[in-house]
């Protein structure tokens, strides 16, 4: 019987968690998707690239909300059971309050494992896939970005101006400025032209014009009656170098393995050990990222105990009135604290160690307090 009771309890928590996490993740994803519209409007990517890229942000959003949603799920289900007097079923079947708290703590370990898988493996992988996809994608939305009498600089090192853009795709009075490097540039002027696609690459076919090559020493002009200008040689303005949050967790650990002792826990030195992944990365940035991936998920255990403390009813009616609000505020505060503590990292080695083991310290202390309160409550009955 007890197994059936605990099974129903866990299913209720899991069901609410799925509904709440899906709703919150979807809302946040929609907001972020709107912010990424500049991939199309400014950077010249297609809608296919846009939707693929924003979809890869779903694991990251879910991993960010999982702790709060899990806390909310336990809080909601216990509160629901209490209001409908379903908790009496636990007590009448000989289930002690500390047993229910132990079950919630064990149940939270599953969500801890889930979050570690997300933060250590899934999220960095999905973020890196998105960046690689953006880097390798063609500027296949370029024709629709070109407007009449406007300077278009959608790709790095290239500016295009068109006097007239006809409905049939023909361009009139074309001006192109290509920045080759700091000392060399190229200006192309053409009477008319047309953008064509060949082998999944965009080619600007130009007719009757001239090419002016400019460098620090001299300038020379070359006239043409017809020429092809390959647009695939240019890269999007979107940042294509991998960010810290997109790097593999094992690679990050390797980056700090030798550099952290050298920096004496200050984390300010720039890593430059010949490893392309680690070059120009700060130890501090890597430590902060690993903290988010490894340490913060352990606060799942803490907030599960905070929510589980709802089963303890104080004798004082005054405390009983504000009990639920206080528990909810404590849980929310601990989630905020998990983020704030990162700002105090690198102050000293001792503080660093305390911050790293702080969630486990909270779990032990909070569990002992709940254990004492449950026994104290039983002795009063």
Cβ atoms of 143 and 197 closer than 8 Å: no
Residue-wise pLDDT tens digits, 3-29: 888 889 999 999 999 999 999 999 988
DSSP state of 169: S
pLDDT at 38: 62
d(CA 290, CA 253): 8
d(CA 12, CA 26): 21
pLDDT at 20: 93
pLDDT at 49: 72
Return the percent helix, strand and coil in the chain, to nearest 5: 60, 20, 20
CB count within 10 Å of CB 223 equals: 9
pLDDT at 272: 57
* Angle, vertex CA 374, rays to CA 369 and CA 376, nearest 5: 90
In order, the DSSP letters of 209-277 are EEEEEE-SS-EEEEEEEEEEEEGGGS-BSS--SPPGGGS-HHHHHHHHHHHHHHTTT---SEE-SS-TT
d(CA 65, CA 71): 10
Taking 50 as the pLDDT cut, the residues of the chain under it are 240, 264, 317-318, 378-381
Residue-wise pLDDT tens digits, 42-68: 555 566 777 777 888 899 999 999 999
In the chain, domain spans: 2-136+242-380, 142-233
User: Starting at the edge strand that comes first in sequence, how are the strands of the sheet with 170-179 ordered?
Assistant: 151-152, 158-165, 170-179, 185-198, 201-214, 219-230
Query: pTM for the whole thing?
Result: 0.73
pLDDT at 342: 84
pLDDT at 381: 36
Residue-wise pLDDT tens digits, 211-229: 888 876 777 788 888 888 8
pLDDT at 187: 86
């Amino acid at each position: 019987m007890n197994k059936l009771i605990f099974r129903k309890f866990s299913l209720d928590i899991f069901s609410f968690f799925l509904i709440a996490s899906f709703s919150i993740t979807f809302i946040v994803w929609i907001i972020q998707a709107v912010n990424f519209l500049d991939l199309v409007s400014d950077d010249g990517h297609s809608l296919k690239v846009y939707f693929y890229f924003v979809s890869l942000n779903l694991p990251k959003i879910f991993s960010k909300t999982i702790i709060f949603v899990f806390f909310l799920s336990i809080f909601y289900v216990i509160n629901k059971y209490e209001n409908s007097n379903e908790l009496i079923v636990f007590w009448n079947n000989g289930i002690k309050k500390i047993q229910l708290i132990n079950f919630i703590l064990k149940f939270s370990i599953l969500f801890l494992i889930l979050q570690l898988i997300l933060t250590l493996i899934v999220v960095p992988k999905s973020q890196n896939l998105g960046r690689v996809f953006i880097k390798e994608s063609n500027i296949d939305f370029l024709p629709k970005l070109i407007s009449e009498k406007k300077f278009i600089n959608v790709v790095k090192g290239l500016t295009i101006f068109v006097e007239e853009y006809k409905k049939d795709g023909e361009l009139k009075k074309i001006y192109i400025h290509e920045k080759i490097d700091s000392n060399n540039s190229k200006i192309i002027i053409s009477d008319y032209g047309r953008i064509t696609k060949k082998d999944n690459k965009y080619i600007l076919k130009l007719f009757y014009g001239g090419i002016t090559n400019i460098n620090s020493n001299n300038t020379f002009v070359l006239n043409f009656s017809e020429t092809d200008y390959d647009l695939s040689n240019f890269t999007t303005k979107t940042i294509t170098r991998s960010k810290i949050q997109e790097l593999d967790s094992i690679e990050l650990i390797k980056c700090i393995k030798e550099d952290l002792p050298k920096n004496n826990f200050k984390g300010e030195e720039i890593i430059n050990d010949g490893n392309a992944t680690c070059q120009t990365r700060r130890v501090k940035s890597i430590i902060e990222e690993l903290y988010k991936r490894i340490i913060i998920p352990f606060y799942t255990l803490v907030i599960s105990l905070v929510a589980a403390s709802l089963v303890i009813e104080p004798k004082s009616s005054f405390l009983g009135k504000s009990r639920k609000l206080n528990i909810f505020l404590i849980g929310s505060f601990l989630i905020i604290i998990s983020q704030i503590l990162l700002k105090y990292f690198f102050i000293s080695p001792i503080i660093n160690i305390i911050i790293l083991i702080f969630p486990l310290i909270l779990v032990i202390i909070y569990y002992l307090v709940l254990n004492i309160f449950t026994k104290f409550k039983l002795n009063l009955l």
